[in-house]
Structures are given as structure tokens and as C-alpha cells.
């Protein structure tokens, strides 16, 4: 297996980055992974998406959600090269530092490919789907190519993770319309910006976010890893989506127990260092 040192080496998270993340609910960090690493993994992950994708309808026959991206989860369980990437100690340590926890476990990984001509990703908060007992969860969003505005980079409503708005809305027409209204009414800053190659973002599970359409003729290839506090407990599912996630990503865990099944390996911990 080709080895890339940047997957495991430390990325120093300055105190002001942590403050920015806590205040605004997200952060964009440059030069986190090298162009060589990203070029290599773009090939490998794209191959897996092609192999594992189950969405074969033409874009115009899909609903809003499914026009936004092809979604393939837990590739780490199926391919050891992708596992090496998803288990990156560097990415996991940044997650632990931003969340200010002693360590983080895998909730799941997920490739999100916005196809050429793919639609916008409606406004939403991820934790609507997750039966997690605290807000200490975070997604790293890793574009596998330079991502200009025309490709649909991720963007965030600043400070929205603290406000508690729209937590009951799954991704769809209603989340798009209602959250757009809330962001405007509450004067929350929201500015879409491009991602350089090597730049990644981290956002809390409760941060409101969206992405524009992909108007280019190339796929917007993105890999994500969702981390949770190493001591995260299972909450009583608040809706049907959370029941599905409990069964798929936390099998056998009871409400109030720490989520640490084989599906949730420890990816970084200061307790072990």
C-alpha cells in the first residue's frame, strides 16, 4: 500500500482556531493534506464509489435529496486502502482538539460525490440523523480536488450550532426553505467560498450548512469522516432517521451506554499517548 506521511503527522491546531470553531460552528483549514495524497486517494475513493453506488436513476428522475450527491457510507469497512485514509491520525487529532475532548471515535465515513449537473445540497443540520447524547460530534469535509464555487463547495451559517433552530428538519424542500428564512431573519453570516486543494472544513453536528449545485462537467469528489467524543453515549432516538442510524452505526448499544462497537473504532486518544 502506498504510504503518505501526512495522514499521521500532527497538524498544530492553534488556540484561536479552536475559539473560531466554537464560536462559529465550523472552520476551514488550509494545507491539511498534500496534493500527492489527495490525487492518490481521489482515484481510489472514486473507484469505490463507482463500485458501491446504488443510485442509478438519471438526475432528472430523482428527488431533491438524491439530486444533490451520490452517497456511499462506511467505505472503510470494505476497502483497506480507504480505511487507511479514513483512519488518518492527523484528521482525527484535529477533530479531538477542536471538540476539546480526550479522543474521538468513528461514527461513520461517507463519500459525497456531486455529479456534473448535480443539484444543490439543501440546508440542514447533520445531527438530526444521529442519536447522540451530546453535541460533541464533528464532520471533516475533504474535497479531493480544488473546489471552486461552480462545483458546490460546502458553506455554513455562522454561529447556528448554538441557536437550536430547525433541529427537527430532515434534508429536503422544507429544510431548504425554512432554514434559508431563519438564516436571513436572524442575520446569520453565510458566505460560500471555494476550497483550495488540501483545504478541509470541520463542522459540528448541529451547524446549519448547505452547498450550491455543480454546474461544471466534472464530479465534485468529497470524502468525509464523522467523529464523536470517545465517551459519546447513545441517546433515545428522537425520530425515525435516528432509529435507522442507531441500528446501522451503533448496533447493539443501549440508551445511555458509550457507543464503542466494532463500527466505532477509536481513531485518536490522548489517553493512549
Ligand X SMILES: O=C(O)CCC(=O)C(=O)O
- Where on the chain is the footprint of ligand X (CB under 6 A)? 68-69, 112, 114, 121, 126, 139, 141, 154, 209, 211, 222, 224
Nearest to 111 by CA among 155, 61, 54, 157: 54
Q: Cβ 62 to ligand X, closest distance in Å?
A: 15
Pick between residue 32 and residue 68 the one whose CB is nearest to ligand X. 68
Q: How far is CA 185 from CA 12, 181, 182, in A?
A: 37, 6, 5
Q: Cβ 153 to ligand X, closest distance in Å?
A: 8
Q: Cβ 85 to ligand X, closest distance in Å?
A: 16
Pick between residue 117 and residue 252 the one whose CB is nearest to ligand X. 117
Q: Cβ 256 to ligand X, closest distance in Å?
A: 26
Distance CA 270, CA 273 (A): 5
Q: Cβ 271 to ligand X, closest distance in Å?
A: 28
Pick between residue 207 and residue 264 the one whose CB is nearest to ligand X. 207
Distance CA 70, CA 114 (A): 6
Handedness of CA 270, 85, 208, 30 (dihedral sign): positive
Asked if 59 and 25 touch (Cβ cutoff 8 Å), the reply is: no
Pick between residue 68 and residue 99 the one whose CB is nearest to ligand X. 68
Pick between residue 52 and residue 258 the one whose CB is nearest to ligand X. 52
Query: SS3 for 39?
Result: helix
Distance CA 128, CA 205 (A): 8
Grid cell of 180 as nine digits = 434559508
Amino acid at each position: 500500500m502506498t504510504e503518505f506521511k501526512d495522514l499521521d503527522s500532527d497538524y498544530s491546531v492553534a488556540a484561536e482556531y479552536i475559539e473560531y470553531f466554537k464560536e462559529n460552528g465550523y472552520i476551514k483549514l488550509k494545507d491539511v493534506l498534500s496534493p500527492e495524497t489527495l490525487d492518490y486517494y481521489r482515484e481510489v475513493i472514486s473507484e469505490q464509489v463507482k463500485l458501491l453506488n446504488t443510485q442509478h436513476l438519471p438526475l432528472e428522475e430523482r428527488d431533491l435529496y438524491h439530486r444533490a450527491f451520490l452517497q456511499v457510507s462506511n467505505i472503510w469497512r470494505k476497502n483497506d486502502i480507504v480505511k487507511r485514509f479514513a483512519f488518518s491520525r492527523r484528521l482525527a487529532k484535529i477533530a479531538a482538539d477542536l471538540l476539546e475532548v480526550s479522543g474521538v471515535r468513528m461514527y461513520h465515513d461517507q463519500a459525497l460525490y456531486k455529479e456534473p449537473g448535480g443539484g444543490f445540497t439543501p440546508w440542514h443540520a447533520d445531527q438530526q440523523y444521529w442519536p447522540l447524547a451530546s453535541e460533541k460530534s464533528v464532520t471533516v469535509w475533504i474535497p479531493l480536488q480544488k473546489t471552486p464555487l461552480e462545483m458546490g463547495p460546502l458553506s455554513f451559517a455562522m454561529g447556528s450550532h448554538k441557536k437550536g433552530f430547525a433541529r427537527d428538519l430532515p434534508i429536503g424542500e422544507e429544510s431548504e426553505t425554512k432554514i434559508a428564512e431563519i438564516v436571513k431573519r436572524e442575520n446569520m453570516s453565510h458566505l460560500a467560498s471555494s476550497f483550495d486543494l488540501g483545504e478541509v472544513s470541520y463542522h459540528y453536528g448541529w451547524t446549519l450548512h448547505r452547498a450550491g449545485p455543480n454546474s461544471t462537467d466534472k464530479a465534485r469528489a468529497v470524502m468525509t469522516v464523522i467523529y464523536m467524543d470517545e465517551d459519546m453515549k447513545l441517546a433515545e432516538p428522537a425520530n425515525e432517521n435516528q432509529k435507522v442510524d442507531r441500528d446501522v452505526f451503533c448496533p447493539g448499544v443501549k440508551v445511555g451506554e458509550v457507543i464503542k462497537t466494532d463500527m466505532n473504532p477509536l481513531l485518536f486518544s490522548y489517553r493512549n499517548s
